[in-house]
Amino acid sequence: MNEDREEVRKNHSKEHSSLKSSILTSSEGHIFLTGALLALLYVSWLALGMFSGYTAKLSHSTVIFVNMLIETIIVLIFYPLFIFSWKHLLVIRVLRNMMARAHKAAEAIGCVIGFLLGLHPWLRGCFKRVKIT
């Protein structure tokens, strides 16, 4: 019985270290960790804004209005940057490779979805071969 427990512990330890190393070394793991960090920063930003508003003894409606205003401004700034980057109207050196890979992946996914919907190839825009690297 103790041998079985020890074997389960060893297997669990191997799986845990494998998961940890794959998250830290794979590009998917980097994307996940970046997303998790950004989500944490976003929630912290919201909490800090609400905390500051309530500390200043503002009413609930004022705190909510100011938070909604700040969120709207953030969306109005970053959404156009994303769209301009997607359409190659604005090229940000740091994001250039990521946007190129996203374009290739989006074309491939669009072709697959179009095929599954039964659209003709000229409607899907899949005449050229798309390689995902």
Residue 128 lies in a domain: no
Q: And the tokens for 38?
A: 């950004």
Q: Which residues contact 95 (CB under 8 A, 6 or more apart)?
A: 85
Residue 16 lies in a domain: yes
Domain count for the chain, please give it: 1
Burial zone of 50 (CB within 10 Å; 0-12 exposed, 13-18 middle, 19+ buried): middle
Q: Which range marks the domain in which residue 26 is found? A: 1-57
Residue 123 lies in a domain: no
Residue 2 lies in a domain: yes
Closest among 104, 102, 129 to 121, alpha carbons compared: 129
Closest among 89, 95, 126, 87 to 110, alpha carbons compared: 126
Residue 46 lies in a domain: yes
Q: What is the pLDDT of residues 37-69, one digit of tens each?
A: 999 998 898 899 889 999 999 999 999 998 899
Residue 26 lies in a domain: yes
Q: What is the pLDDT of residues 87-115, one digit of tens each?
A: 878 888 877 888 888 888 877 777 778 77
Rg (CA), the chain: 23
Residue 11 lies in a domain: yes
Q: Count Cβ neighbours within 10 Å for each residue of 100-121 and write b for 16 or more, e otherwise.
A: eeeeeeebeeebeebeeeeeee
Answer yes or no: is pLDDT of 31 > 70.
yes
Check: pTM over 0.85? Answer yes or no: no
- Which helix or strand (DSSP H or E) is residue 104 part of? helix 96-117
Q: How many CA atoms lie within 13 A of 23 on its CB side?
A: 11
